Amino acid sequence: KAGVTQTPRYLIKTRGQQVTLSCSPISGHRSVSWYQQTPGQGLQFLFEYFSETQRNKGNFPGRFSGRQFSNSRSEMNVSTLELGDSALYLCASSLQGPGTQYFGPGTRLLVL
């Protein structure tokens, strides 16, 4: 079974731009969660989608948004990028929700 895939793997953007990251979960997994990882803040939960609905949300500003499609693929969007948004963005999928999450390789975003 293929693992979680994320595209792109690397991104360089400038302040003020927006970015969209994509995540394809493991086949059959319906829950997709997004995390931001930085050296200063560690791993922080952004949000979780289940059956195309946002089920949980972390403490991030509204510039961070996401969606999930009927095939469980998910996208995360960050608008009006700031330097502090530079991070590794990880996507994780699980069968339903509270179970074990399996992570993708991440997208490294650099904001200049």
Q: Which residues bind another protein (CB under 8 A)?
A: 33, 35, 42-45, 48, 55-56, 58, 88, 90, 92, 97-106, 108
CA-angle at 98, arms to 103 and 1, nearest 5°: 40
Q: Report, in Å, the least distance between residue 33 CB and another protein.
A: 7
Cβ atoms within 10 Å of 3's Cβ, excluding its own: 13
Indicate if the alpha-carbon torsion angle 5, 67, 91, 65 is positive or negative: positive
Q: Report, in Å, the least distance between residue 104 CB and another protein.
A: 7
CB closer to another protein, 48 vs 81:
48
Task: Say which DSSP state 37 is in.
Answer: E
CB closer to another protein, 79 vs 105:
105
CB closer to another protein, 11 vs 88:
88
Q: Report, in Å, the least distance between residue 24 CB and another protein.
A: 15
Q: How far apart are CA 42 and CA 91, in angstroms?
A: 15
| CB 32 within 8 Å of CB 48 | yes
Q: Report, in Å, the least distance between residue 18 CB and another protein.
A: 23
